[in-house]
Amino acid sequence: MNAYIYTDRYFAFDYGITHPLKIERLKLTFELSRAYGLFNGSDISLIETVEAKEDELLIFHTRDYLEVLKQASSGRLRHSYAYGIGPGDNPAFPGLWEWSLLHTGASIRCAELVLGGGVQIAFNIAGGLHHAMPDRASGFCYINDPVICILKLLKEAERVLYLDIDAHHGDGVQWAFYEEPRVLTISFHQDGRTLFPGTGSVEEMGRGRGRGYAINIPMLPGTDNRVFLKGFHEIVPELFERFRPDVVVTQLGVDSFKDDPLAGLCLGTEGFLEVIRFLKRNTNYWIALGGGGYNSWNVARAWTLAWAIMTGVELSDEIPEEISSKLDKMGIRERELKDKEEINTSKDAHIRYMERVISYIEKEIIPLI
């Protein structure tokens, strides 16, 4: 059984007209998947999102911080820079508290469904807000739903593997489990010297009992599918074999795609879907979360293609007419479900850099697991 967690209630909220994170991208994703009939199978459950309870957030976030979020959400607070709230990345907008409860509640539901044993794959496209810290908003993220999801899993699971392929380093999740050997975090991302949040060097490998259980694969701007997949296939299968996770949690951000406005990587659907196919073959229980992606069509087509693989459906390249009409209204000209041509942007420098990263991980980190 596979489960997809979703609600139209997400669209009561808005970060602001100039903010790059458009919650409407989730609606386009859902509608594209529905147009392809991806919720019709007898082994598929489409489940309405339910808000998280405040006590469930306190497993990671501080009470003072949650009070600040509630004040910002209700208009009683325009900014609180000590908590990361203010103009820019993390604005105080009406309903931000309710939005946070919804996307986090969906991730908690994914954990409950998988732990219950009846669901093998659960997908929360609204989740994956991986930058939030216990007492601070960061990088468009107010509540760290991946961390809360993993903490929920650890009540019953012995080992959880977290794989993050967003262009931005999964810093909030890494730091939450930096000393925890029951959680192996793996993050592929654009080198932090060139992109927010500035962390995720290969030398960040965990601390104390968790030393060796944080894996970072930074990539130079301009890295394409070929170099990304070289790193993935030379590192990730061995990590799966050594760690043997009970549950895999993935953050499937697609701001790594070549035309995303907020990052400089040059990946595309071929590289992304190779990761999804690997996960489908090698996971018994899998929670998939959304993440970054600031080109709405990239988000919709990538996560629809991912859900198709999760549910074992082969999609036609022809976009359903109802979606073509919607794209016209949105001013989106692209009509390709998959990239038609291989993106070749990597140079020798990209390959050499990835080879150095692979070598360091193989020699210095993997033996610690």
pLDDT digits (tens, 9 = 90+) for 304-337: 999 999 999 999 999 999 999 889 888 888 888 9
75-84, 128-137, 249-258 — which is least confidently predicted? 75-84
Residue 73 has pLDDT above 80, yes or no: yes
Which is more confidently placed, 335 or 161?
A: 161
Mean pLDDT of 61-84: 95
How many Å apart are CA 203 and CA 212, to the nearest integer? 10
pLDDT exceeds 80 at position 144: yes
Asked if residue 58 is part of any domain, the answer here is no
Range of the domain at 238: 2-49+97-368
Q: Which residue has the tokens 């968790």?
A: 210
Report residue 78's pLDDT band, with 50, 70 and 90 as the boundaries: confident
| Mean of all residue pLDDT scores within the chain | 96
Kindly state whether residue 79 falls inside one of the protein's structural domains: no
- Confidence check: pLDDT of 40 > 80: yes
How big is the CA angle at 40 (ends 35 and 46), to the nearest 5 degrees? 95
The CA-based dihedral angle spanning residues 22, 173, 160, 188, taken in that order and rounded to the nearest 10 degrees: 70
Share of the chain above pLDDT 70, in %: 100
Q: Read off the pLDDT band of 105 (50, 70, 90).
A: very high
138 occurs within a structural domain: yes
What is residue 261's predicted lDDT score, i.e. its pLDDT?
Answer: 97
Tell me how crowded residue 82 is: count the other CB atoms within 10 A of its CB: 12
Examine the pLDDT at 117 and tell me if it is beyond 90. Answer: no
Active-site option among 61, 131, 169, 189: 131
Rounded to a whole number, what is the largest CA-CA distance in the chain?
Answer: 55
Q: Is residue 292 part of a domain?
A: yes
At 294 the pLDDT is 98
Q: pTM for this structure?
A: 0.97
Are 146 and 129 in contact, with CB atoms under 8 Å apart? yes
66 within a domain of the structure (yes/no)? no
pLDDT reported for residue 346? 81
Residue 232 amino acid letter: F
Is residue 86 a part of any domain in this protein?
no
Q: Is 131 a catalytic residue?
A: yes
Question: 3-class DSSP state for residue 365?
Answer: helix
* Tens of pLDDT, residues 186-228: 999 999 999 999 999 999 999 999 999 999 999 999 999 999 9
Q: Is the pLDDT of residue 134 over 80?
A: yes
Element at 304 (helix H, strand E)? helix 296-311
Question: Is residue 7, in this structure, part of any structural domain at all?
Answer: yes
| 71 within some domain | no
Report the CATH number that the domain containing residue 216 is assigned in CATH: 3.40.800.20
Domain total for the chain? 1
